[in-house]
Amino acid sequence: MEQATSNSVEQRIHAFLIDKFPLARKVGVKADTPLLENGILDSLGILDIVSYLEVEFAITLGDDELVPENFQSLAALAAFVVEKRSNSR
């Protein structure tokens, strides 16, 4: 299984955000852009990104992991995915 780096995970999530969320395209998304505070992700957006992460990175997110801290920014999402994947080995 390919070892995903935080940077490659971040790039893949960034592409998804830009493709799926019009506001992400409009305001732009950097690693530290506040996704929730800026309204890029709302509750439905979080469901979309959870589905994407589970399929794209072959992980399963538990209800206890659906906390705002994991969805604060692109960097937070990437770090969460990398940690989740390393713990599932």
pLDDT, average across residues 26-48: 95
Judged against a pLDDT cut of 50, whether residue 37 lies above it is answered with yes
Q: Read off the pLDDT band of 2 (50, 70, 90).
A: very low
CATH (residue range 6-87): 1.10.1200.10
Torsion of CA 68, 72, 74, 79, to 10 degrees: -60
Nearest-CA neighbor of 77 among 21, 1, 22? 21
- In angstroms, the first-to-last Cα distance of the chain is 10
Give CB contacts under 8 A, 24+ apart, made by 53-56. Answer: 53/13, 53/77, 53/81, 56/12, 56/16
Q: For the chain, which residues make up each domain, given as ranges?
A: 6-87
Nearest-CA neighbor of 80 among 52, 41, 53? 53
Query: How much is the pLDDT for 4?
Result: 59
Instruction: Report the predicted TM-score, pTM, of the whole model to 2 decimal places.
Output: 0.91
Q: Read off the pLDDT band of 6 (50, 70, 90).
A: confident
